[in-house]
Amino acid sequence: MPVIVTTVHSGSKVAPIWPWRVPDVRLESAPLRPDGSIAIRPQAISQRLSILDMLPFVRTSCFTIALLATLSGCVHRRVTIRTDPPGALVLLDGKETGYTPMSVDFTYYGTREVTLIKDGYETVTSPLPLLTPWYQVFPLEFVTDNFGPGKIRDRRDFTFRLQPQVLVPSGELLERANSLRSEGLLP
């Protein structure tokens, strides 16, 4: 005859046994009472661990992981290029990026080449040094990128002054061209 245990009596306290926790009861150690019930001592019951018993731990772990994911660090890198006067075409590492003033995100530190082109002004080609800050040096970068307390914003601003283009008179230009041609013809 199967015995279903729903509560455990321990003196004056009654402890319910939840349906998903199946007790392993040793009936030979449980004496019968006069009313036909079995007196089971709490030491005689051992609970089997099931998946459902782990739900509170799983919920807490998932919540902790989700919280860490939303609060995890992130580094946002952005370079801003300005010119005086504004409106120059920007070539960053040989690719058209836009017109000044402009901002662009970047991923890697290092030296970039910027070329600024504007009608009526000299074309400027210059190195753009993007030096690595201390918190982006290995192994600290892994911690700041993934587990930092919040977002880190790395902003770099560069301003260039464009020089007006000097127009050489055509007569002087032809004279220099002829002199260079005559130098090249000499044996």
User: Within a domain: residue 34?
Assistant: yes
- The pLDDT tens digits for 45-85 are 444 555 556 667 677 776 676 666 555 567 788 999 999 99
- Alpha carbons 111 and 138: distance in angstroms, whole number: 19
pLDDT at 20: 42
Q: Which domain holds residue 29?
A: 1-71
- The pLDDT tens digits for 95-150 are 999 998 999 998 888 999 999 999 989 999 999 999 988 878 888 878 777 777 77
76 & 130 share domain: yes
pLDDT at 39: 59
pLDDT at 61: 73
Domain count, the chain: 2
| Triad 25, 31, 37: Cα angle to 5° | 80
Note the pTM of the prediction, 2 decimals: 0.54
